[in-house]
Structure 1
């Protein structure tokens, strides 16, 4: 019986490998451990359509029951992409994935998989690898390999049982084996407490020699959570006092009543206990969210920046992202309260740490290949890289900044207005007119142009034209027609028709402005606040939109200052508008009276909040947020106004 299960599994796997759309072919067709497999991959249409390089990864499950992620070294040929894989005896399963840009080919979520085998049976780790890879919820495989595919708990129990039965892997897999069995029995209406299978497995394991702390703690969990035998569980917890004490100290952090107490306990925890990924996972200990997040959040709230120097070399990767946002992005990029020189000391330290991590992938990211991990870091920090390059420019390191910008454009491809503006300013200073012209035109083509880029284009336009009368048409001719059509369709789909809320608000000079007085006109309301970074970031785009309608007396823009916290906010607003030289008509909300009414009417929240009202007093558009492109925002507002007419 045991042999027949093995043979059936082996045959199924080999058939599966060869039936995967014929995009991955291997020679020999049924390889064994010790063979070197030659593979030929034909990219599918989705990958080819991206125009991006084809990359491959192999996720290997070894006979110590650990995953390793490796970049494939593939050679492009007329027939496809070729590579070889040696099926060595220290490995049990190989799972392949191919990608180009964001497109991924994993055989339509069925997997490209080779299970290690020898004649008549599967090799060690093949069963376990096949089960854990396809049961994502058990968190023992490669989390990003499948998108939606999941095997049942019964299937997981089968694969764990095969590995345990044939390769005596009970110490490693008894917990997922018991969990899968318990879930299956509950689904069948049975009580796992009285399960002969679970009781037998636990009793057998309990008698095994030389049990480690992990083995004993695993058994304690099984007797506690699945068999509900408190006396046995407690006796096992007593002999695993190390992890039990660690877990208790971790729980104390979570229930601490004050930030100071939580900080003290978190810092002491880091000193007392080194991370142990497998044991920590069993005990429910999360160093990231449960420990280091407290340390960084509380230090930063206290405005104590020493946390970076103190913990940068030991903290989880995600805390670097939090530190950059809180210590650089907000004070330097958003609030403008930090100089570039001061921001550089924090920004560069984090960038140096990222460079180190790229070369020394942390153990917890086992499921990424080296290149995937670098891409993961770069994607996580893609906006921060722009900020860092801006800092470099401001402290006089233009060449270094330009080098980084050019590298970033390989990924962004002119789809970020801030990056385009930064590159344009660096190229202008460097005197590279040819490259500058390319950036200006590509920025407009992608509809990711800043006001400064538009000004540079206008300046260039005036070299060959007597005035700017035809400039708008010239600008529109550069924009991608398909992109503009998609924008118009997107805006049109968001049209609404609701009665606008009548308002009366005072402007900067104390003059009362009402909606009733604007009858017959298109009214654009932009709700903003001095503390709102996205609101202020959107203003250059709003200025461009307002400039477009400067000769149209039937279109008016009002910038409604709302939700202010500073008692002197009116003076603060006046100063901001004057410094930025914005030609805006600012109105002061009564606290947040009219913002609240409009937000309630639209059933939304947050600022910036833009509302377009037609000449009949009907709201036609309402939009929350800012996507980052001044020219894109201007085109959206212009389209809304055009459709509202």
Structure 2
């Protein structure tokens, strides 16, 4: 569609803005309604029920688009008045073109049903510099020139984006130069939506010629010109000429950087690839705007460097790169260097992993107050929350490490911070905090934690042990303990769990097996006929398998006096030739009262995995008394008490089948 000459399009787009600006008064009102340069604007915000139901503080972020055509994000302090009304003030000074607002409480955000809350700065008779461009960039999400994530689904088309850019350039002196690249992209997409001879478009030719002849080109402008020449003017010779100029003028600039970056993916030799990656970060410092335009991803570069160092167990990684690496690489390092050996495999002690863990956490804390340019769209407060979100599970492990090496005060602080986020929904954290409260003599806090752990069904065997002590302190014996525990559990949560398990019920013949126990005797499925059988497929190398065993022990304990229920732990997929001795030592060390079967590689597992059409361990199968599979479950989600309840429910439902 041709925009020029179509006055109806212009009127429709302008009317659309005015309508949007007026519709959200019941939620967010401005005073004055149409602010001008230098005005102090008073905001009155009324959150909806979804936001209030979170119970979290209502917060606001202001996104400023300035007269230099750049974005920034700031926290907007809110003052709560009567009836859940919030107020704030902003000033539309001479540096501000437009301000967009977002309100949030917990995980709920409000931008008025994906239409946006926006103030466009003005002066008498016209919008102020930056207002039109900011309004277009914010809403043309596919161009990635606005605020990432501000809109979920909404975006304007090429025609509308071009209109707002054209308005800015038409009315604001000096706007053509910084907006020429965006103008050419938008106009080309509008006129040639399926691609085509954009070089034939007069406006593209004029805009490209204009940008080519402005004085004192910046590196960004020259690189934009090279893209325009190649992609829109179809003039590869001019593009090459521009890039040659840039190579000479900027030896460590974006053209040479882009070529070096592309070379990284072409190298197949691992040692040579690592050398190239390390040379790349040494030679080329990060430049957010240019790197974004050239599609250069430093996160990927550093993650590759870290992966190579970790694979070769090179201890010089953190001293060499911890202070320059992006947050994503540090998250990878914590997972590989700390979580796996300490928490999953348990091959390293807290004392051994602490130096590396402490170095990574030191950098995480540094990042919280030094937001990188690439994350500008997080307000300062949001950025701290994002750092904490990325390392939320690591904080729990780190608190465990601190506790293990005797740094209980630091562990207590970190565990409390984690509990604010997870609200007793992580059994591992609950147990850790219980031990810290117990050691510190915080009886009231301990009791509250124990009860909440059971309430949300995220309790470990240790939690139940401590609860039994509390119960016996006021009761003669433990006869009513199980009922007391049951009364604490949230009834709705338990009913949802049971319904979910019911929905997953199946009915197909179990696969016959005959496997050897640790004492050398054999057990077959045929010999178990008439019983409900629970098979837990596991391996000594499988962290989640071993993590699930306390929950399985709790489940088995509930049926210890019931001869019609049999638990067997099938050791499968082992890689160590001496795996039987390793299994026996593990079971003995942990004092698990389990009957273990050896799977001859994965003889039984393969049959059941094929029957259920699944893969992976831990893999739990419940077989009814008639020899039919009723339930099959892969994975472990971290709660011993929830797992015990799930298995108990499966057994009860399997018993109902005739």
TM-score (norm 1): 0.96
1:144 equivalent in structure 2 = 149
1:431 CA displacement: 1.8
The superposition leaves residues 280-309 of structure 1 with CA deviations (integer Å, 9 ceiling, x where unpaired) of 1222211111x2112111011110122111
Which stretch shifts more, 477-486 or 466-475? 466-475
Q: Confirm whether residue 198 of structure 1 aligns to residue 204 of structure 2.
A: yes
1:349 equivalent in structure 2 = 359
Q: Distance in 1 between matches of 2:65 and 2:266?
A: 39
1:490 equivalent in structure 2 = 500
Q: Distance in 1 between matches of 2:625 and 2:161?
A: 64
Q: Distance in 1 between matches of 2:181 and 2:504?
A: 51
Structure 1 residues 3 and 363: alpha-carbon distance in aligned structure 2, compared to 1, 3 A threshold: farther
Name which of 274, 285, 291 aligns with 1:263: 274
Structure 1 residues 217 and 188: alpha-carbon distance in aligned structure 2, compared to 1, 3 A threshold: closer
Q: Distance in 2 between matches of 1:134 and 1:64?
A: 19
Preserved contact between residue 21 and residue 107 of structure 1 (Cα < 8 Å) = no
Q: Confirm whether residue 92 of structure 1 aligns to residue 102 of structure 2.
A: no
Q: Distance in 1 between matches of 2:381 and 2:364?
A: 14
Structure 1 residues 573 and 172: alpha-carbon distance in aligned structure 2, compared to 1, 3 A threshold: farther
1:6 CA displacement: 8.4
Q: Distance in 2 between matches of 1:71 and 1:233?
A: 42
Q: Confirm whether residue 16 of structure 1 aligns to residue 20 of structure 2.
A: yes
Q: Distance in 1 between matches of 2:530 and 2:190?
A: 68
In the alignment, structure 2 segments of 5+ residues that lack a partner are 248-252
1:3 CA displacement: 11
Q: Confirm whether residue 240 of structure 1 aligns to residue 246 of structure 2.
A: yes
Q: Distance in 1 between matches of 2:410 and 2:213?
A: 64
Q: Distance in 2 between matches of 1:500 and 1:120?
A: 80
2:136 equivalent in structure 1 = 131
1:9 CA displacement: 5.9
Structure 1 residues 160 and 588: alpha-carbon distance in aligned structure 2, compared to 1, 3 A threshold: farther
Q: Distance in 1 between matches of 2:192 and 2:595?
A: 66
Preserved contact between residue 185 and residue 191 of structure 1 (Cα < 8 Å) = no
Q: Equivalent residue of 2:348, what SS?
A: coil
1:362 equivalent in structure 2 = 372
Q: How does 1:419-430 map to 2 (within 5 A)?
A: 419-430=429-440
1:395 CA displacement: 0.8
Preserved contact between residue 535 and residue 620 of structure 2 (Cα < 8 Å) = yes
Name which of 53, 75, 85 aligns with 1:49: 53
2:394 equivalent in structure 1 = 384
Name which of 58, 62, 65 aligns with 2:62: 58
Name which of 208, 214, 218 aligns with 2:220: 214
The superposition leaves residues 390-423 of structure 1 with CA deviations (integer Å, 9 ceiling, x where unpaired) of 1111111112211222232222211111111001
The superposition leaves residues 77-110 of structure 1 with CA deviations (integer Å, 9 ceiling, x where unpaired) of 0150011110111011111111111111110111
Structure 1 residues 245 and 189: alpha-carbon distance in aligned structure 2, compared to 1, 3 A threshold: closer
1:457 equivalent in structure 2 = 467
Q: Distance in 1 between matches of 2:232 and 2:518?
A: 69
Q: Confirm whether residue 253 of structure 1 aligns to residue 277 of structure 2.
A: no
Preserved contact between residue 521 and residue 555 of structure 1 (Cα < 8 Å) = yes
Name which of 512, 520, 526 aligns with 1:502: 512
Q: Equivalent residue of 2:653, what SS?
A: helix
1:279 equivalent in structure 2 = 290
Structure 1 residues 198 and 536: alpha-carbon distance in aligned structure 2, compared to 1, 3 A threshold: same
Preserved contact between residue 415 and residue 448 of structure 1 (Cα < 8 Å) = yes
Q: How does 1:512-551 map to 2 (within 5 A)?
A: 512-551=522-561
Q: How does 1:378-457 map to 2 (within 5 A)?
A: 378-457=388-467
Q: Distance in 2 between matches of 1:169 and 1:532?
A: 60
1:183 CA displacement: 3.1
1:235 CA displacement: 1.2
Q: Distance in 2 between matches of 1:502 and 1:50?
A: 51
Q: CA RMSD of the aligned region, Å?
A: 2.0
1:4 CA displacement: 10
1:618 equivalent in structure 2 = 628
Q: Confirm whether residue 183 of structure 1 aligns to residue 189 of structure 2.
A: yes
Q: Equivalent residue of 2:60, what SS?
A: strand
Q: Equivalent residue of 1:442, what SS?
A: helix
Preserved contact between residue 94 and residue 115 of structure 1 (Cα < 8 Å) = yes
Name which of 113, 122, 127 aligns with 1:108: 113
1:130 CA displacement: 1.5
Name which of 154, 163, 168 aligns with 1:163: 168
The superposition leaves residues 542-596 of structure 1 with CA deviations (integer Å, 9 ceiling, x where unpaired) of 1111111112212111111112111111111111111111111111222223222
The superposition leaves residues 207-230 of structure 1 with CA deviations (integer Å, 9 ceiling, x where unpaired) of 222222221111111221233221
1:613 CA displacement: 1.5
TM-score (norm 2): 0.94
Structure 1 residues 594 and 155: alpha-carbon distance in aligned structure 2, compared to 1, 3 A threshold: farther
1:5 CA displacement: 8.7
Q: Equivalent residue of 2:652, what SS?
A: helix
1:182 CA displacement: 3.2
2:638 equivalent in structure 1 = 628
Q: Distance in 2 between matches of 1:73 and 1:643?
A: 54
Q: Equivalent residue of 1:48, what SS?
A: helix
Preserved contact between residue 40 and residue 81 of structure 1 (Cα < 8 Å) = yes
Q: Confirm whether residue 27 of structure 1 aligns to residue 37 of structure 2.
A: no
Structure 1 residues 544 and 31: alpha-carbon distance in aligned structure 2, compared to 1, 3 A threshold: same
Q: Equivalent residue of 2:473, what SS?
A: coil
Q: Distance in 2 between matches of 1:160 and 1:597?
A: 64
Q: Equivalent residue of 2:333, what SS?
A: helix
The superposition leaves residues 412-440 of structure 1 with CA deviations (integer Å, 9 ceiling, x where unpaired) of 21111111100111111112222211111
Q: Confirm whether residue 76 of structure 1 aligns to residue 80 of structure 2.
A: yes
The superposition leaves residues 109-164 of structure 1 with CA deviations (integer Å, 9 ceiling, x where unpaired) of 11111122223222222222122222222222211211111222222222233333
Q: Distance in 2 between matches of 1:599 and 1:165?
A: 67
Which stretch shifts more, 336-345 or 10-19? 10-19
Which stretch shifts more, 602-611 or 267-276? 602-611
Structure 1 residues 625 and 173: alpha-carbon distance in aligned structure 2, compared to 1, 3 A threshold: farther
Structure 1 residues 369 and 53: alpha-carbon distance in aligned structure 2, compared to 1, 3 A threshold: same
Q: Distance in 1 between matches of 2:161 and 2:523?
A: 68
How many matched pairs?
644
Q: Distance in 1 between matches of 2:456 and 2:91?
A: 46
Q: Distance in 2 between matches of 1:347 and 1:494?
A: 40
Q: Confirm whether residue 288 of structure 1 aligns to residue 299 of structure 2.
A: yes
1:598 CA displacement: 1.9
Q: Distance in 2 between matches of 1:100 and 1:573?
A: 49
Preserved contact between residue 13 and residue 160 of structure 2 (Cα < 8 Å) = no
Q: Distance in 2 between matches of 1:555 and 1:115?
A: 71
